[in-house]
Structure 1
Amino acid sequence: MSRWKPHVAINVRNLEQSVKFYQNLFGVEPVRVRRGYAKFDVELPPLNFALNEHPYSEVGALNHLGLQVSSTEEVLAAKRRLQEAGLATFDDMNTTCCYALQDKIWVTDPNGIRWEVFVVLDQEDDRVPDKQKILVEQPAVACCTACEKHSPLANE
């Protein structure tokens, strides 16, 4: 293998619902579906993504997952694709997150896992000394907390 491809495997409560959600999120069909298991081989971004049907009581330590794209137009195209599939998306445009100015949308999978589709518009350059940085305004709260209010698990 000449290039590295990240692999992410998550537990899901309902495989059928989750497969449908991820078909819509990634815009591709799974390459393998078996009893209690599905695999997506995503080209953009390169990702080996697996679903394992396994009951659980909490989402756990996972905060969120994301797909970084190269333009606001791609963010909006993902939003249209997800909304056409009947999924609720939440805009978070022109926002500061993780010390970067971003345009993004959020969507939550059937298991409560939050996904962001985002583009970085401007960010600090970590290669220059602190005294030369023009800091991107950062809120006093933890990064990416705006998505938490849109999670179905937020009210549990």
Structure 2
Amino acid sequence: MSVMKTHVALNVTNIEKSVTFYRAMFGLEPVKYKTDYAKFDIPNPALNLTLNLTNNVQIGGALSHLGVQVESTQEVQSAIERFNEAGLDLFTEDNTDCCYALQDKVWVTDPDGNRWEVFVVKVADTAPEKNLATVSSSGEIQAVKKSCCA
């Protein structure tokens, strides 16, 4: 059976800043680097990430965020150390209830506003009172505690 690899192509407005960010994000050098294009061939998680130079980027668009799920809190801590060494602004969350699960995570944002999280799921399903919203019997959302992955 062949191995599948996800491909993500991101439009970027500054190829140098973006390559610097993604070097820190994944701890790898690009396999191809041109004045208007860069490619990272990431083995784990299996990802073909390309950066395509453009004049402008609409921040956010329909994309909420991107993420890498790791197996341990130590791997989240390793990402934090890597991001700190690269001088990236970051935001950490420990034991946070998100997406109906208990997680540790770190957030960084690339030069064009794409938000990335590195996270570990510590408890896969949290109790209903820990969830983000309460839904009435009619299906209406009654209360929202906080936004998830924000």
Query: 2-side partners of 1:41 and 1:136: how far apart?
Result: 41
What residue is the counterpart of 2:5 in the other structure? 5
| 1:58 CA displacement | 1.8
- Asked if 2 retains the 8 angstrom alpha-carbon contact of 1:96 and 1:136, the reply is no
- C-alpha contact (below 8 Å) 1:100/1:136 kept by paired residues: no
Query: Which residue pairs with 2:131 in the alignment?
Result: 138
Is the partner of 2:130 in helix, strand or coil?
coil
Q: CA deviation at 1:35?
A: 2.5
1:136/1:107 CA distance change after superposition, 3 Å = farther
Unaligned runs of 5+ in 2: 133-143
Distance 1:87 1:79 in 2: 9
Q: TM-score, normalised by structure 1?
A: 0.83
Q: Cα RMSD (Å) of the superposition? A: 1.6
2:139 paired residue number: none
- Can you give the 5+ residue segments of structure 1 that lack an aligned partner in the other structure? 125-132, 146-156
**1:41 and 1:67 mapped to 2: Cα distance?**
15
Identical-residue share of aligned pairs (%): 53
Are 2:13 and 2:57, in contact at CA under 8 Å, matched by a contact in 1?
A: no
Instruction: Give 4+ residue runs of structure 1 displaced > 4 Å after superposition.
Output: none
1:67 aligns with 2:68: yes
TM-score computed with the length of structure 2 as normaliser: 0.86
Structure with greater strand share of residues: 2
Structure 2 SS opposite 1:22? helix
